[in-house]
Structure 1
Amino acid sequence: MTDLLPILKHYYGYDAFRPVQEEAMRSVLDGRDTLVLLPTGGGKSLCFQVPTLAREEGVCIVVTPLIALMKDQVEQLKKRGIQAAAIHSGMSRREIDVTLDNCVHGGLRFLYVSPERLRTEIMIERTKLMKVSLLAVDEAHCISAWGYDFRPAYLLIAEFRDLLPGVPIIALTASATADVQADILDKLEMKQPQVFRQSFARANLSYSTFYEENKERKLLQILTNVPGTSIVYVRTRRRAQQVAEWLSRQKIRADYYHAGLPYADRSAKQMAWQRGQTRVVVSTNAFGMGIDKADVRSVVHLDLPASLEAYYQEAGRAGRDGKKAYAVALYNHKDTDDLAQAVERQYPPIQTLRRVYQALANYFKLAVGAGEFTSHSLDMHEFVNTFGLNLSETHYALKLLQEEGFLQLSDAINESSKLHLLVDKQQLYDFQIRYPDYDSFLKMLLRMYGGELFSEYVRISEGEIGRAFYAQLPEVANRLRFLQEREIIDYEKRRDQPQLTFLTPRFDAEHLPLNIFEIENRKDRDLRKVGAVVHYAQHPTQCRTLLLLDYFDERDGQPCGVCDNCLKRQKSATVHEDSDALRQQLVVYLHNNGPISPRALSEAFGKVPEKNLLQVVRKLVEQELVLYDEQGKLTLNAAQLS
């Protein structure tokens, strides 16, 4: 039996496995189809990474829905000395070609792909040539229409499996109800699957919700009372920036983050937070996925999320180190109304979808039947102005068209430029002899970015190259273009706009095969999910952990004892016990000291808060155990006591 612990220690620095991790890894190594349900921070990625590394060779193909997530995971693996790459819609065909060649011949161990890529001809043909050891499906809840982030492209995975006879599949998710789990097993056609599940309960995480009209004031109070790193989630990009700037004025080291920022800015902000230079990140839900930071002490939702699945994942980024942490949701009546209205906005009329799709075809001049897997820069403001569309409605129409599998919008805005050498070392040397003016420039590129330039596309910075070569940006750009024209390099200049990729040949808009019935079903499910969030936030008594466990069909949990409702219940019980004790003391005191004025009684019980004393006295009077005599003094009612 392969000893997995040395691999865990060597590559990841951990001395022991977390619950169910090793069992899931053994299942994979035994060739079993495996479903893993681990809470956020439970170490899902290790469940497919360690068994892949335990084998001497073979590629693990990882299907994941988010470009940002796959890039982050690839970078993390590379930092550990593990060869990994990703394929996504922001890449050119030549770049994809080189990456897939490296999977076949270059010793890559992990290939991350978006689900839409699985049915491309180049992916299918190269997969046939690969030695694939494992197929991993991350965020597996996306395959289920019952899930909170349904992606129709995930339904392609079962068909893709036919290319991999005898290769096991592992599906992983942090949040799945019983319906979603059943859907995952069915849609992935998992055979005699092994299911490993860790409880969704987090003993170290204290959940709380508060009704607040002044949320910023409450947020400041939380950050003052709970020292350490924090994430604050809000609904919009503008609000993220406003709240971060407000916190900075309150002398808290805060920054904002959202998917619309340039890649370099996002990386810098994330790194500053991970290193502790920034204490609080205020973000949309774009922040946190796949980020490995264990010491987050608080996660605050300044706006309620649209589902309990999303809330559980985001809140679960607190306390991954197992130490006490806090997940706080703040809400008011406007929030609960806004959630339902937001769902309505997310589902524009079907005719709007057809109109936007037709406008895209006209904008990019695509004929019916053309355009499959072509990518285009999309200037949203120019697009909506050209066709007289509403910006917000168009945004949601594009999202729905993406969910229906017709197109994909990448978040690769202002991503770094990329460079790849198209020649081998001998051919490069020959070129340097023929063009001596480029000799020092090419040597400098190799010093800066290394031999990886020969085997893959490497992110570069024209500004850094200019500083190293003592040249202005126009000269750097001219030199790179010169090399590209002579096919020495392939230079992918950074794009300043979102990229839209058509995933199918262009349809006639009036006959666009939209699944109208399923769209309506998804809308209804989203409204029910909003109802579950509101129920969770407003519940006055039930343990928050038990509310979450019940939502995820885990029925055998125990009250956590640390959420706001559990603490209220404990405090109420304590106050009740204290009141009973004070009542007995008052009866004894009045029995021994005869009639006494309320002021004298208050002085005699000076250590008891006056409010508590008056409540107990009032209760005794209501029960006629204590009376006021003619002088207004308190005395025992002997008739009642007897």
Structure 2
Amino acid sequence: MSEALQILQKYWKHDSFRPLQQEIIDSVLSGQDTFALMPTGGGKSICFQIPTMAKKGICLVISPLVALMKDQVANLQKKDIKAIALTGGIKSDEMINLLDNCQFGNYKFLYLSPERLQSDWILDRIKSLPINLIAIDEAHCVSQWGHDFRPAYLKISSLKTHFPTVPFLALTATATPKAKDDIITELGLQNPQLFQKSFARKNIAYMVFETDDKLFKIEQILKKNQQSSIIYVRNRKSCLDIAAQLRSLGFTATFYHGGLSSKEKDKNMQLWMQDEAQVIVATNAFGMGIDKSNVKTVIHIQLPDNLENYYQEAGRSGRNGEKAFAVLLTNPSDIAQTENQFLSILPDKAFLNAVYKKLCTYFQIAYGEGINEQYSFNLNLFCLKYQFPVLKTYNAMQFLDRQGIISLSQEFSEKISLQFTIPSKEVIRYTSLNPNDEEIILTILRTYPGIYEMQTAFNLPLIAKKSHHTEAQVHAVLQKLKEKDIIDYHAKNNDSTLIFNEIREDERTISRVAKYLENQNTLKKEQFKSVIKYIKEDKTCKSNLILNYFGEKTTTNCGICSYCITIKSKKTNFAALKNEIIALLTIEELNSREIQNRINTKSDDVIFVIQELLESENIILKSNNKYTIKS
């Protein structure tokens, strides 16, 4: 038995490796630079963890994902394997102690972000460590053609000069052929061994359904497949709304988004992981490091920005090898609407410049100053003060963060969450008795229609502005309502941490990174076009569309996607369907949904026949929205 397999069995309790893991480990152990392209769920971390355990020394793991670093360190520590992550918020004294532990304490793994390598003193300390392997996770970030380019990754190649005999292992789950070539060049990989697992997930049926009633379609899917499911949405409000609607339909549903506290995240996650909730409704903040084998269905109800993210999120289904479904729901207005929204929140150079200057003004940073200054930051207040659109500003600040100009913590949790705990008629009665509070309360109810059903994130500056009151006045009304047990009210810290990593140089700062912004915007537009092609292309297997996007050429259809099912299904007998609908309506009046529920036929065909029967005046639509036979 090989040493690598013994380590796998001892620490990970697995009897055998997954495809390509053994080959990648052997390549690394032989001292070769190695590139591994393994889709989500392929077990990438094993590929650097096991060779590190087999050799003396420590593995340097470079990753941009703080949550994933913490998760992997925690999992290694549970196995009594010494591991450390140098994440944000660690003070210099503590960092010195951690690096001392790496040097003298028999540690096996040191995780850090690529930005940490830009600190000369940290780089000097790393040079003195007994590094046996350098693993670059999320390696697509090094490529300007990757979907999350970070210039700090470009400096990783300099480690080659300090560790000329140490192998590099580049790992990614999603890279197009163009991005793959870029990664190898930019990391300076020398004659790398290339390992690429096919992107094909033969047990996943990729489905695209056009529907005017997405909630009804979700209800049908979840009733048919009652196992564990994920529903991905674009924003936090949709998370809460969809989860509440599903609960009202009798499903066990919870939700997950970046604004929840750690305690709430863990609680909701465990409900889903332990199958106490069938469905978790989530933003893309959910999923990294999640490995639940029995997910039957992943549903996207809004268009993803790119196929890279869609493939990763859809790939969280069917990890047990059983048939699973990746469903994308769309309607005719989605593409134009999403495209407009998508383009409207892409910051250009002028907007980036404006945001950067206003940030410096906001914190009173003079030209030529500001380096290493740290501040508490509230995104909503900042955008309100300068009349900036929130999402576009957030994207601009994310870009500045990726360029290393600023460092920004990602938690934009709302300062206040609240829920009305008495019936709406009682709230109206209260406003009639307290006319001074009426305008503020009505503004809250108009802005947050779901506030009776659930705890709702609350934007204090927005309500103050819309109700023409000061924030202090709004706050006073909330306190009064809380004291009278009219609302359940929670105040939370809304401040993120913002660090300026460079001196203020205005246009010079922005001009230096503008070319990256232009490239990224061009790439994002191209990626979104690929999403539209995936949806609209109705003469190609959906699985093949995804494989071709990632550079795999195949002409063999999967046989289980929405396209393949359409070409295999028998032609609908419209005459028989017409007679069946007429027979139903002869007995009782029904609406279109009730007809669909009683007939085992595609909903599109049912709607088509109903339309024909209306046009031929065989049936009529009554004022109660139900169909009946024309007398």
Q: Would you say same fold, with TM above 0.5?
A: yes
Residue type of the partner of 1:196? F
Partner of 1:163: 162
1:246-257 residue pairs with structure 2 within 5 A? 246-257=245-256
Question: What percent of counterpart residues are identical?
Answer: 39
1:547 aligned residue (528, 545, 567): 545
The aligned counterpart of 1:497 is: 495
How far apart, CA to CA, are the structure 1 residues paired with 2:517 and 2:396?
12
Shift in alpha-carbon separation, 1:105–1:338, aligned structure 2, 3 A: farther
CA-to-aligned-CA distance 1:160-193 (integer Å, 9 cap, x gap): 3333221111111111111011001001000000
CA displacement 1:579-632 (0-9 Å, x = unmatched): 9xxxxxxxxxxxxxxxxxxxxxxxxxxxxx9x9xxxxxxxxxxxxxxxxxxxxx
Q: How does 1:238-637 map to 2 (within 5 A)?
A: 238-411=237-410, 497-509=495-507, 512-556=510-554, 558-572=556-570
Could you tell me how far apart the structure 1 residues matched to 2:367 and 2:98 are? 31
Q: Relative to 1, partners in 2 of residues 1:305 and 1:54: Cα closer, same or farther, differing over 3 Å? A: same
Residues 1:533 and 1:331: Cα distance change in structure 2 (over 3 Å): same
Determine the structure 2 residue equivalent to 1:72.
71
Counterpart residue number, 2:612 = none
Deviations 1:254-278 (Å, cap 9, x if unpaired)?
1111112222222222233222222
Q: How far is 1:336 from its partner?
A: 1.2
Conservation of the 8 A alpha-carbon contact between 1:412 and 1:499: no
Q: 2:8 maps to which residue?
A: 8
The residue aligned with 2:40 is 40
**SS in structure 2 of the partner of residue 512 of structure 1:** helix
- Counterpart-to-counterpart distance in 2, 1:14 and 1:159: 36
1:185 is matched by which residue type in structure 2?
A: I
Deviation, structure 1 residue 374: 4.3
**Native 8 Å contact 1:355 1:509 kept in 2:** no
Q: CA deviation at 1:80?
A: 2.3
Q: Is the 8 A contact 1:116 1:503 kept in 2?
A: no
Deviation of 1:44 (Å) = 1.0
Is the deviation greater in 381-390 or in 171-180? 381-390
Shift of 1:514: 3.6
Tell me how far apart the structure 1 counterparts of residues 245 and 11 of structure 2 sit (CA, whole Å).
41
Deviations 1:514-555 (A, max 9, x none): 433442232222111111111111222311111111111111
Kept in 1: contact 2:230–2:297 (CA 8 A) = yes
Structure 2 counterpart SS, 1:181: helix
Question: SS where residue 333 of structure 2 aligns?
Answer: helix
Offset of 1:250 from its aligned partner? 1.8
The amino acid of 1:96's aligned partner reads M
AA aligned opposite 1:61:
L
Please state how far the C-alpha of 1:23 moved relative to its aligned partner: 0.2
Question: Which is worse superposed, 192-201 or 91-100?
Answer: 91-100
Deviations along 1:56-95, one digit per CA (max 9) or x if unpaired, are x322111111222222222222222222221222333233
- Structure 1 residue 512, shift from structure 2 partner: 3.3
Partner of 1:178: 177
What is the alpha-carbon distance in structure 1 between the residues aligned to residue 43 and residue 536 of structure 2?
Answer: 31
Distance 1:398 1:355 in 2: 11
Distance 2:323 2:289 in 1: 21
Give the alignment of 1:39-188 within 5 angstroms.
39-55=39-55, 57-188=56-187
Closer, same or farther in 2 for the Cα pair 1:168/1:281, shift >3 Å? same
CA displacement 1:351-377 (0-9 Å, x = unmatched): 222222122223334344444444432
Cα distance change, pair 342–26 in 1 and its aligned pair in 2 (3 A): farther
| TM-score scaled by length of structure 2 | 0.75
Q: Secondary structure at the match of 2:171?
A: strand
Q: Secondary structure of the residue that 2:559 maps to in structure 1?
A: coil
Shift of 1:388: 4.5
Q: CA separation in 1, counterparts of 2:259 and 2:396?
A: 18
Provide closer, same or farther for how the CA distance between residues 257 and 394 of structure 1 changes in structure 2, counting only shifts above 3 A.
same
The residue type equivalent to 2:237 in the other structure is: R
Closer/same/farther in 2, CA of residues 279 and 30 from structure 1, 3 Å limit = same
Shift of 1:510: 5.8
8 Å contact 1:261–1:413 — kept in the other structure? no
In 2, Cα distance between the equivalents of 1:551 and 1:234? Answer: 23
**8 Å CA contact retained: 2:294, 2:317:** yes
Q: Is the 8 A contact 1:90 1:410 kept in 2?
A: no
Q: Is the 8 A contact 1:375 1:501 kept in 2?
A: yes
Contact residue 306 and residue 339 of structure 1 kept, 8 A: no
Alignment partners' CA distance in 2, 1:361 and 1:141: 31
Which range is displaced more, 118-127 or 35-44? 118-127
Aligned to 1:635: none
1:213–1:377 CA distance, 2 compared to 1 (3 A):
same
Contact 2:348 2:517 in 1 (8 A): no
Measured in 2, the distance between the counterparts of 1:407 and 1:511 equals 11
Aligned to 2:198: 199
Q: Report the Cα distance in structure 1 between the residues aligned to 2:58 and 2:503, rounded to whole angstroms.
A: 31
CA distance in 2, matches of 1:523, 1:378: 26
Partner of 1:478: none
Name the larger-Rg structure. 1
* Residues 356 and 506, structure 2, Cα contact 8 Å, conserved in 1: no
* Mean Cα deviation higher: 263-272 or 29-38: 263-272
Name segments (4+ residues, structure 1) moved above 6 Å: none
Contact kept in structure 2, 1:118 and 1:160, CA below 8 Å: no
- State the distance in 1 between where 2:126 and 2:176 align: 33
Change (3 A) 1:266 1:11: same
Secondary structure of the residue aligned to 1:340 is helix
Q: Unpaired segments of 5 or more residues in structure 1? A: 415-493, 580-608, 612-642
CA drift of 1:40 comes to 0.9
Work out the CA distance in 1 between the residues paired with 2:359 and 2:139. 30
Q: Is the 8 A contact 1:413 1:495 kept in 2?
A: no
Tell me, yes or no, if the aligned pair for 2:349 and 2:510 is still in contact at 8 Å.
no
Whole-angstrom distance in 1 between the partners of 2:259 and 2:512: 28
Q: What amino acid is the match of 1:547?
A: L
Give the whole-Å Cα distance in 1 for the aligned partners of 2:377 and 2:161: 36
Give the stretch that moved more between structures: 335-344 or 494-503.
494-503
Hey, what's the Cα distance between the residues in 2 that align with 1:358 and 1:303?
A: 34
Alpha-carbon contact 1:89-1:375 (below 8 Å) kept:
no
Is residue 26 of structure 1 aligned with residue 26 of structure 2?
A: yes
**Please, which moves more after superposition, 83-92 or 240-249?**
83-92
TM-score (norm 1): 0.74
Q: 1:312–1:25: structure 2 CA closer, same or farther, 3 Å change rule?
A: same
Aligned CA-pair RMSD: 2.5
Distance 2:371 2:503 in 1: 4
CA distance 1:532–1:387, shift in 2 (3 Å): closer
Provide the C-alpha distance between the structure 1 equivalents of 2:556 and 2:372, rounded to a whole number of angstroms: 51
Partner of 1:441: none
Quick one: distance in 2 between partners of 1:413 and 1:520? Answer: 26
Distance 2:51 2:555 in 1: 31
How far is 1:30 from its partner? Answer: 0.7
Give the letter for the 1:49 counterpart. Q
Match of residue 628 from structure 2: none
Deviations 1:263-311 (A, max 9, x none): 2222222233222222211111111111122221111111111111111
Output one character per residue of 1:295-353: Cα deviation in whole Å (capped at 9) or x when no partner: 21111111111111111111001111111111111111332123322332332242222
- Deviation, 1:118, is 1.1
